[in-house]
Amino acid sequence: MAPNDPHPNPPRMIAVSSGKGGVGKSTVTANIAVAMTEAGLRVGIVDADIYGPSIPGILGVPAGKPAMTPDGMIEPAVAHGIKVISMGMITDDDSPAILRGPMVTKYLQSFVRQVDWGDTEILLLDLPPGTGDIQLTLAQAFPLAGAVVVSTPQDVSLKIARRGLRMMEQVKVPILGVIENMSGFTCPSCGTVTHIFHQGGGEAIAQELGVPFLGKVPLDPAVVDCGDEGTPLLKAAPDGPAAEAYRQIAAALSGKDTGNTGLATPFRWTVSEAQGKPAPAPVTEGGAPDRLAALDHAPGRLTLTWTDGAKQTLGARDLRIACPCAKCRDEMTGARLLDPATVAFDIDLTRVWSVGNYALGMAFSDGHDTGIYTLKSLRAMTSTEMEDV
């Protein structure tokens, strides 16, 4: 089963990200997955670091390319009770993944949508470091339940982690929390704790940005041997302080309610054929002003109902003229390139679809379909009808 298939209980997708490399993000992902599995959850991992996959090595995934099911789905590998898919299962250890952007996107789509995840409850996405194409593709294409940001207490790591947090906020992915990895080293002989990269930085940045602090994971010498042997730290040293930290973080994420109200995504509404219209979401007092509760269409008009109760009706022609794509707007200055005189007065919408949790894509009767309208920009548009109910 792919996460976008109709299913009463689709898996919650949680992205595990970092601003920079070398902070132990993949090790954190693997051990959180083990902790969740030990707690009775059915967990999968998508190793989304296409160019530097490390999850197979950390979990000891058996060598060999994945098989196919009779209905054409990819069978994930299973290690320590966790379902896994990774570029490391497709390429040889010494073969680099030399891929351009469109091929990376294709692989990511396949890893999420064309893998038989079965009854998986939580799908962890181990992202590459940074804020590039892969992060944006996942945020746009899939309904992420939230993101976790991993950092070390080192000042430079924390500064870059802040950028990652801001990026996720901009694409409307809820921030589930910050994890401070390598948070001090405990001497196995005398028990003295040495804070190699300072201390308290992860908690401070979480407070500064108003997001949860999920916990500190101390350095453990066993992590090196574990990574080489394909045995997660939680299995090799289950009674150590790092293992306990992983269990607490896993428990917090397993029960985390993101409060992500609004229309269920993804959806693809073919307006012209009245197919795929998303079911309405509740309107509540104090609802989020940038979350949609309902979409409705009448000839030449699109009506948006927001979760805070506000209702907005926008003309199809106004939406077409406001298209923000590179064909219609100068990417540097924002100046309009589209001549409004060329847009027919009887133009209408043919399709509306979700783009992650933060925008709508729209197709028009003149064939134009490349505009991505952020929910924030739609809410700011002037409408013919605007009322608070």
How far CA 57 is from CA of 62, 105, 221, 315, in Å, comes to: 9, 23, 17, 54
Domain boundary pick from 225, 254, 283: 254
Residues in the chain, total: 389
Pair 210, 280 in one domain: no
Q: What pLDDT, in 10s, does the model give residues 344-358?
A: 999 999 999 987 777
Provide the residue type at 69 as one letter.
T
Pair 284, 172 in one domain: no
Rounded CA separation 175/316 (Å): 34
Pair 245, 272 in one domain: no
Question: Mapping DSSP to helix (H, G, I), strand (E, B) and coil, where does residue 49 land?
Answer: coil
Pair 107, 193 in one domain: yes
| 64, part of any domain | yes
**In the predicted model, what is the mean pLDDT of residues 37-63?**
88
Q: What is the CATH number of the domain that holds 235?
A: 3.40.50.300
| 36, part of any domain | yes
Pair 250, 272 in one domain: no
Cis peptide before 266 (omega within 30 of 0): yes
Token reading at 37: 């599995």
Domain boundary pick from 254, 286, 311: 254
Pair 197, 94 in one domain: yes
Pair 50, 188 in one domain: yes
| 379, part of any domain | yes
Give the pLDDT of residue 305.
95
Nearest one of 374, 345, 350, 261 to 297, comparing CA atoms: 350
3: burial class by Cβ within 10 Å (0-12, 13-18, 19+)?
buried
Token reading at 322: 């406001």
Pair 221, 273 in one domain: no
| 137, part of any domain | yes
Give the pLDDT of residue 388.
40
As a whole-number percent, the residues of the chain with pLDDT over 70 amount to 81
Q: Where are the alpha helices (DSSP H) in the chain?
A: 25-38, 55-59, 101-113, 133-141, 155-170, 201-209, 222-229, 233-236, 241-254, 316-321, 375-380
Query: Residue for token digits 């950390």?
Result: 58
Q: What pLDDT, in 10s, does the model give residues 318-341?
A: 999 999 998 999 878 888 999 999
State how many domains the chain has.
2
Pair 53, 108 in one domain: yes
Pair 179, 277 in one domain: no
**Residue 286 structural domain:** 268-388
**Residues in contact with 104: Cβ distance below 8 Å, sequence separation at least 6, in sequence order:** 50, 133, 134, 137
State the DSSP code for 87. G
| 259, part of any domain | no
Rounded CA separation 361/370 (Å): 7
DSSP 325-352: STTTB-TTT--B-S-GGGS-TT--EEEE
Provide the residue type at 150 as one letter.
V
Domain boundary pick from 221, 254, 287: 254
Mean pLDDT, the chain, whole residue set: 81
Q: What pLDDT, in 10s, does the model give residues 54-112?
A: 899 899 987 778 889 888 899 999 999 999 999 888 765 555 455 555 676 777 888 88
Q: What pLDDT, in 10s, does the model give residues 173-229?
A: 888 888 988 877 766 666 555 666 666 667 777 777 778 889 888 887 777 666 667
Query: Residue for token digits 């870059």?
Result: 160
Nearest one of 126, 122, 119 to 85, comparing CA atoms: 126
Q: What is the CATH number of the domain that holds 303?
A: 3.30.2020.30
**Among 55-64, 250-259, 275-284, where is mean pLDDT lowest?**
250-259
Pair 249, 277 in one domain: no
Q: What pLDDT, in 10s, does the model give residues 282-311?
A: 888 777 788 899 999 999 999 999 999 999
| 384, part of any domain | yes
| 5, part of any domain | no
How many CA within 13 A on the CB side of residue 248? 13
Pair 163, 51 in one domain: yes
Rounded CA Rg of the chain = 23
| 3, part of any domain | no
336: burial class by Cβ within 10 Å (0-12, 13-18, 19+)?
middle
Give the pLDDT of residue 387.
42
367 backbone φψ class: left, alpha, beta (φ>0; ψ -120 to 50): left
Distance of CA 178 to the CA centre of its chain: 15
